[in-house]
Amino acid sequence: METVYFIILIPMVYAAFAVFVLGVVIRLVKLFREPNNPTTLQIYPEKRPRWLWALNDTFLLPTVRRHKPVFWVFLMLFHICFLLLIIGHLELIGDFRFFQLIPHEVFLGKGFVGLILSVCVLYFLFRRFSSPVRELSIPEDYYLLILLFLTIFFGSQMDWARRWYDYGNLSVVEYREYVLSLLYLRPHVSSDLTSSGHSFMLVLHVFFGNLFFMFFPFSQLMHSFLSLPMNKLRRG
């Protein structure tokens, strides 16, 4: 079991990181080296400044708000919480004063960020079970949502354990030690991390997270990078 834990927590993390970074970079480079379309792909009436409206389209999703307001609420909550989650993970690396503008305990959101994300992902998943989105969906869409749910759920469990049901054996100190050791290329997994009753949650969180990152560059998740250039095409 120790060996499995070790493989998931160290080599697989590096492998996932490499696949993610290289995959994303190679795909973006290949994509943006393609020739431009000879004609404009704009929709009228146009609004200026175009880049500002493209930013608005990308980050505030006005078309979704207009046509599917409930979905929009879940989408906005999901994306905002996802951002908070990234910040939370960055704070495992060190204390960024910038992030502590509003003083908080790592992770952000007192456990609610994870809870909201879990609920949102379940909503995204369940709406794919009903027509017409069911007919539009392909296996990739389900795999990704399930993977995302598992990653978020096991990650959040660790947070909830500490905050909501007083489980004190694993804390941010241990996580930080592990993350920094990975970052400084001196990977080390302390026995605290693997011997606690909740260790399996950490291992599963990292395992599913690794799979998610490895799948990322080859999937529709690239919309996180491509949405802005696409909206710019529509705005002209």
For residue 49, state whether it binds another protein (rule: CB under 8 A).
no
For residue 38, state whether it binds another protein (rule: CB under 8 A).
yes
For the four alpha carbons of 163, 168, 169 and 174, in that order, the dihedral sign comes to: positive
Contact yes or no for 16/209 (Cβ under 8 A):
yes
Closest CB 124 distance from another protein, rounded Å: 9
- Which of 10, 50, 56, 68 is in the footprint of another protein by CB under 8 A? 68
Q: What is the dihedral of CA 224, 210, 92, 28, to 10 degrees?
A: -30
Contact yes or no for 137/190 (Cβ under 8 A):
no
Closest CB 126 distance from another protein, rounded Å: 13
d(CA 21, CA 27): 10
- Looking at residues 139 to 158 of the shown chain, list those that interact with another protein (rule: CB under 8 A): 139-141, 143
Closest CB 205 distance from another protein, rounded Å: 23
For residue 67, state whether it binds another protein (rule: CB under 8 A).
yes
Q: Which stretch binds another protein (CB under 8 A): 28-36, 99-107, 148-156, 162-170?
A: 28-36
CA atoms within 13 A of residue 66's CA, in its CB half-sphere: 4
Tokens read off for 152: 């978020």
Between 62 and 94, whose beta carbon lies closer to another protein?
62
Helix (H, G, I), strand (E, B) or coil at 74: helix
Q: What is the dihedral of CA 141, 147, 152, 158, to 10 degrees?
A: 170
Between 32 and 164, whose beta carbon lies closer to another protein?
32
Rule CB under 8 A: which residues touch another protein? 31-32, 34-46, 57, 61, 63-64, 67-68, 71, 127, 131-133, 135-141, 143, 218, 220, 222-223, 226-227, 229-231, 233-234
